Copies of this chain bind each other. A is one copy, B any other.
Amino acid sequence: MTKKAMKGGDAAKTADFAPQESAGYLVRDAHRAFQRLIEKRIAPFGVTRGQWYFLRVLWTKDGISQRELSESVGMMEPTTVIALQSMEKAGLVRRERSAEDKRKAQVWLTPKAKKLKARLLPVARHITMQAREDVTQAEFELFRDVILRMTRNLDKYRR
């Protein structure tokens, strides 16, 4: 793309701690690359990426409570509320107050959402495959191991 600026390479050193070398920067960049591609590929199905993460969990566990769902997806509960509102409006889920415990809301996929599974899971697989194109299984496993450890480390210091 744009390699015009930067000729000598002298500036690279002065920047102690160049962003490009930092784990956070690498992760953020990769994250946005995934986001962009996912969004583009699922938009034709009328699904946003916020909905996508929830669908992926609901396809495997239907009828769970919002709290469980939040945990499975790894989102805070207000995020779940907002996602579910949009999913309800889009006809992807139905919410029902639990009879035994009226605090709880059970979340159910609609037939429409269930049908989407067969169309959307291949999209996910395809993106993953494209990302991993030239990455061997061994490399990927080490990558996974490292990124999981880093995530856990950060969560540990979360306070």
B-side contacts of A116, CB under 8 Å: none
- Contact A127 B33, beta carbon cutoff 8 Å: no
CA distance A37 to B143 in the complex (A): 21
CA distance A19 to B74 in the complex (A): 11
Q: Is the interface of A mostly helix, strand, loop or mixed?
A: helix
Judge if A45 is at the interface, Cβ distance under 8 Å.
Answer: no
A140-B146 CB under 8 A given contacts A29-B74, A31-B27:
yes
Judge if A135 is at the interface, Cβ distance under 8 Å.
Answer: yes
- Contact A155 B33, beta carbon cutoff 8 Å: yes
B-side contacts of A89, CB under 8 Å: none
CA distance A109 to B142 in the complex (A): 40
Interface of chain A residues 45 through 91 with chain B (CB within 8 A): 53, 56-57, 59-61, 68, 71, 74
User: Footprint of B on A, CB under 8 Å?
Assistant: 2, 5, 11, 14-19, 21-24, 26-38, 40, 53, 56-57, 59-61, 68, 71, 74, 121, 124-125, 127-128, 130-135, 139-140, 142-151, 153-155, 157-159
